[in-house]
Structure 1
């Protein structure tokens, strides 16, 4: 489905043997070092069963490719070339991938026969890691002006705020499979998954608490869990009027979703005893500090869904195959929906076939979209030049909150889609294949986060209400209808090189175009103000217009050599206000290489490179973020340059 999405994960099913390996690598410029230890082991269970256990553990150093920050950092400075300015340890603060530590993953997969036709299975995953996200550098001038003398005294050279995110993810699935020639195949499964992220601010300060403010502040938890119970059935029905037996499938599903935002420490969101008093050095009012999840943001949301589907596939003639599927669901918060799919295939010859499909799709807003709320605070002079410094709240509002309602926000609606595709399949040789598919996807009621609406928009609407202190606001809304047209071409060829081994060639080319076909006003605010030029550009031009992939894998004796090539087409970044400042990024080529050799004793050595030739996207134009970032955060690949690695593994 175009908006629901499917990820197919294939788990290892081994009842013996094992492997242990280690990989080490880093970027050409010397940072971003990665270390990874991994392994798996298979065990035999009764009745031809298996248990496969796997793990990996590792870490990653931060990586950055930035320019120096050339602002004047210290109050009173007039020249950047003074020793005090030049020796600031944060002059080259990082902008890139953060530090990843304590990263480890475990996987278990098992299956065992219980009786004739009946088997039990189960699999589970667990993941943990800590990621440090470095934020924008606050130089001493900013600390003095925005946070006061207490902040400047604690961080005399400035502050590089770091938020540590601790991830815990667990998923467990267990089920029974039963197969009977007369009754068909049954699969009963129960699944539970939980994802939890805790965040902590480091190098923090709440100036309203003065010197008593902690420098490490826990800022809250985001947790989502889901439980699924499913029953699937499939059976082939023999008949005399079709070329092959009729395949019928049906199933029932029940799902419960839960999402929690839990507030952080009071030091992260409460005003201390110095709040709004006059700082003796700066002469400005001392602000509070708002970070993470506050009392206002905390929320707990639930959803229950029950559904059923029915699917029929038939080989109508020797050359013509058709399938029809329908699925109905009831959402506790959105009511009923029914969607369907029709698929057709016609084999002109054993080598050439045509296929087509048409379907409708439905995606209820995620509980994260429905429940997200956050706010930050800046200290601003109002009116400018008055010397009156006040706190200005910047809020991301819950879509169904009273504040959002004043702006025209409503409870989010589901996204709905229609999908059409046609394609050709060609097998010119037994060891070669080519596929070509074209598609059109229409999405209605697309959910998008609005731009941060300024005080000139929200101020008059919030005036005289309890929300008059909100100077800037954003919220999720069903703002746009979009249409995506595209096609995908893929080919594969396996060359038997005789005594020189075998070479597998793969290639693919994809091109699509997304455009906004409708933009709704929200309340009294025009749609092109709810999402402006930059956000519209992210939808329509923010990804490469096309992508080419080519690869070759040569297997000879114990050698394996893989070369992969990618080309990303043009993409664009639209300036929020001035079209003359739009930037179009050139196409980019990226090459990967992996070479490995397996010794007779089961030892394999490998070396390789991701982005072998150190390709980079075009550099950013203008002075975004004080001119520090070299590359756009939406670049498809290559902002950190070439990554080289080596690995060793042993099969036993």
Structure 2
């Protein structure tokens, strides 16, 4: 077979790498070293292009902090979710599970350096990755309202490495790079491949997950390659639940229609989760190369919702908190139906209304009805969705005289189609369906880049790297209407019955539609060595958006080499994050918990009449100023970096706290065009309503040695993150949200890894430390549902044995010693069917064991 791996495509290693680094283009790293160097060394120094538009360099020579995680490093984890893999590897990178969180159950939000997921720019082969269509309406404080890319669709089998730039880079790459940049570099092998089959489940015996992934490299004549990757996965749901006291009481009182447990807290079920990635390149001649890459991904997710108590759920079963049933009248006059009281026991608990004479009399009256007739034991809706993700980029790069160029165009699309099972549209009365197709969100983006670079000499300064380029981008956010029964106001809405599918109202014709915007960006970037010790860089970027105007940002970097082993680095930059089209136009209905009570909250665009009545305004971009100082020490087999950062963000965009819709405002709201305001408990909208300062320290260290007659590597990643809210609007941001922003993630995070290998046997042992954090239950920041959680340590272990040159078997466990997540307080535990806080920094499901077989060819 013809070998194509790392050929260089006829362009010198240096000039080709510069063309790769142009644009935000970071492209592939296959030309970072030539064949002879790669074959001559078993210990290749890690090389990156992220963070610079000059020639790629080792991460120790970078003026900004960079992590490089290889594909093999990512696989040393029982999880097959890219988010979980990165959490255990990158300092200051965090995520949390979303057991009951509407659409965020489908796509988990993440954060880098204490900032939301849409403050980190995500690239694939150096090209901007499109956003997910899902917006994290209940994102654990930091991510409330964030709309970042869905990186979980990227399988580790498709990756050569991941480059993480932990520094503000909006002046280099545009919007969303306030916290940093993550570049996923796809494999570029032209031969060989692998097949991996993995199986695992939690110690509790649930959450069984089966994963099959494969990768193959194929030559494209002698001048190119096609690399294909596929992952297919199914994961069962988990349950970390206990029976709710109210449900247990109903069973005790003789209501045989209540489930046990009535409500499930746990991971959603994931079915038919597949992701296909393609990466390809072709050398036209010595001066030009074509490339293309893309993906096709899909998954079905089914998650849980809150239990609806058949005595007191507002606007379904009662209007007075469970004193009497909500009884509807077919003739439109509720006064013609008798009152049905909820019986009370001597201790104040509910009796069984189904056995009362008043209820039986209501059933006998053909003019009267209650939703208990359809769901006598209450009900727990199931939220389901299908996420479809596609992308394709193509371009040409090469040399034109002294200039390197890169021209590319691409598109990305993410669509989430929602449905609700086991629910009701109470306003339709007894004629309501119980399953609903509630509509869809769709995010689409198109990007065109044209970039140039060359080396210049100015006076006595030689080898100045100069880059400039242009970017045009268009993005749209579309809401597709749900089926009529999911949103319509039925004939009993004016009698107090809830409108639309309960728990997640379908998107009606007033919500459906498509909104778009476009922007252009122009940048210039220079970097040069002054003498042998100083490396200086500067970048300037101008962007103009069709919706809110323009912005100009800059970045300055410097590195001073003090000795052969020690260097110091610094950066200063301004940045911005444009409000997404989704944040400007999204409509939704969510169920929130305040002081233990479920309330229906309507999310409206900031300029909607309802939002505007309570202070909503047109969104503006966030603006940031960041500083960083660091040091790099390299001596023989020891590598250490220590970096301090400070990021000030003004006008941060986030979902407001719930604003109560008060009875005194009903008439004015109706006059403004709001329908049935009496059925809306609260409203939230997106707003620029607070400023923050986030500072922190990242420490990364590694040491290679010989131990126990084998090769040994110790790795440490430690992050300290501190966020303070400098200013906020108390009308839209409450103190509970401020506390989540400041303390919602651990201030201290660390991982210590011991990797050991012998001839055929290898081991990876990792300890994970999570410091104290502010734990909330179901986004409830009252004293009832929140507290400071204790620090914790988890341990991960993987053992691998190479039976044949091509066959490796691995077994392992995440959270080996089954460290429990923070339990809810005694007065809260079980009240909503849960045992643990959902907002923890590590998996509340407990220990997980797995096995994996890998065959290489």
Provide TM-score, normalisation by structure 1.
0.89
1:348 aligns with 2:562: yes
SS for the counterpart of 1:95 is coil
Alpha-carbon distance in 2 for matches of 1:127, 1:12: 18
Match among 439, 449, 453 for residue 659 of structure 2: 453
Summarize deviations over 1:408-436 as a string: whole Å, max 9, x none.
Answer: 21100100000100001111x22211111
Within 5 Å, give how 1:135-534 maps onto structure 2.
135-141=305-311, 142=313, 144-145=317-318, 149=369, 151-180=371-400, 182-238=401-457, 241-242=460-461, 244-276=462-494, 286-290=497-501, 291-375=505-589, 394-427=601-634, 429-456=635-662, 459=665, 462=668, 465=671, 466-467=673-674, 468-469=677-678, 470-497=680-707, 500-519=709-728, 527-534=729-736
Residues 160, 48 of structure 1: CA spacing in aligned structure 2 closer, same or farther, 3 A cutoff?
Answer: same
Counting matched residue pairs gives 616
Q: Distance in 1 between matches of 2:310 and 2:681?
A: 25
The change in CA–CA distance for 1:577 and 1:128 in structure 2 (over 3 A counts) is closer
Contact 1:549 1:564 in 2 (8 A): yes
User: 1:365 aligns to what SS in structure 2?
Assistant: coil
Structure 2 Cα separation of the partners of residues 187 and 51 of structure 1: 20
Q: Could you say which residue in structure 1 is the equivalent of 2:154? A: none
Q: CA 1:564/1:512 → structure 2, altered by over 3 Å: closer, same or farther? A: same
- Residues 460-517 of structure 1: per-residue CA shift (max 9 Å, x gap): 89466343544421111110010011111110111134x9231111102110210111
Work out whether residues 208 and 289 of structure 1, in 8 Å CA contact, stay in contact via their aligned partners in 2: yes
Change (3 A) 1:289 1:618: same
TM-superposed deviation, 1:531: 1.1
Distance 1:151 1:578 in 2: 31
Residue 458 and residue 450 in structure 1: after superposition, are their counterparts in 2 closer, same or farther (change >3 A)? farther
State the 1:529 CA deviation. Answer: 3.5
| Corresponding residue number in structure 2 for 1:122 | 292
Q: Are residues 441 and 121 of structure 1, via their aligned partners in 2, closer, same or farther at CA, if it must alter by over 3 Å?
A: same
Does the 8 Å contact 1:276/1:287 carry over to 2? no
From 837, 842, 851, give the equivalent of 1:646.
851
Higher relative contact order, chain-length normalized (CA < 8 Å, sep 6+):
2
Q: 1:581 to 1:127 in 2, by over 3 A?
A: closer
TM-superposed deviation, 1:567: 0.4
Classify the secondary structure of the residue corresponding to 2:623.
Answer: strand
Deviation of the 1:448 alpha carbon: 1.7
Aligned counterpart for 2:810 among listed residues 597, 600, 606: 606
Give the whole-Å Cα distance in 2 for the aligned partners of 1:580 and 1:56: 43
Pair 1:289–1:637, CA change in 2 (3 A):
same
User: Does residue 779 of structure 2 align to residue 559 of structure 1?
Assistant: no
Matched residue, 2:840: 635
CA spacing shift, 1:109–1:81, aligned 2, 3 Å: same
Give the counterpart of 1:44 among 213, 219, 228. Answer: 219
Are the counterparts in 2 of residues 423 and 438 from structure 1 also a CA contact under 8 Å? yes
Instruction: Note the C-alpha offset of 1:4.
Output: 6.3
The separation in 2 between residues aligned to 1:82 and 1:274, in whole angstroms, is 30
Q: Give the Cα–Cα distance (whole angstroms) in 2 for the partners of residues 396 and 267 of structure 1.
A: 20
CA distance in 2, matches of 1:117, 1:435: 38
Q: CA deviation at 1:553?
A: 1.0
Deviation digits for residues 194-220 of structure 1 (CA, Å, limit 9, x no counterpart): 000000111122233344432221100
1:62 aligns with 2:237: yes
Write the distance in 1 (CA, Å) between the matches of 2:458 and 2:409.
Answer: 34
Mapped to 2, the partners of 1:187 and 1:106 lie a distance apart of: 26
Given candidates 254, 274, 293, the residue that maps to 1:104 is: 274
SS at match of 1:528: coil
Deviation at 1:288, TM superposition (A): 3.5
TM-aligned CA distance change 1:377 to 1:358, over 3 Å: closer
Cα deviation for residue 156 of structure 1 reads 3.6
Q: Distance in 2 between matches of 1:15 and 1:158?
A: 58
C-alpha separation in 1, matches of 2:184 and 2:646: 26
Shift of 1:64: 1.7
Measure, in 1, the Cα distance between the counterparts of 2:186 and 2:760: 25
8 Å Cα contact 1:4/1:363 also seen in 2: no
Contact 1:66–1:92 at 8 Å: present in 2 too?
A: no
Q: Do the aligned residues in 2 keep the contact of 1:586 with 1:617 (CA within 8 Å)?
A: no
> Which stretch of the first structure deviates more once superposed, 292-301 or 104-113?
292-301
CA spacing shift, 1:14–1:576, aligned 2, 3 Å: closer
C-alpha separation between the residues in 2 aligned to 1:564 and 1:170?
35
Per-residue CA distance 1:599-636 (angstroms, 9 max, x = gap): 22411111001111111222122427724222222100
> Residue 599 of structure 1 aligns to a residue in which SS?
strand
Give the Å deviation of 1:157.
Answer: 3.5
Q: Considering fraction of residues, name the structure with more strand.
A: 1
Q: TM-score by structure 2 length?
A: 0.69
Q: Which whole-Å deviations, capped at 9, do the CAs of 1:102-148 have from their partners, x for residues lacking one?
A: 11010111111111211101111111000012101224334644776
Distance 1:625 1:395, change over 3 A: farther
Q: Which runs of 5+ in 1 are unaligned?
A: 278-284, 379-391, 520-526
Q: Which residue of 2 aligns with 1:586?
A: 790
| Unaligned runs of at least 5 residues, structure 2 | 1-167, 169-176, 320-325, 328-368, 593-598
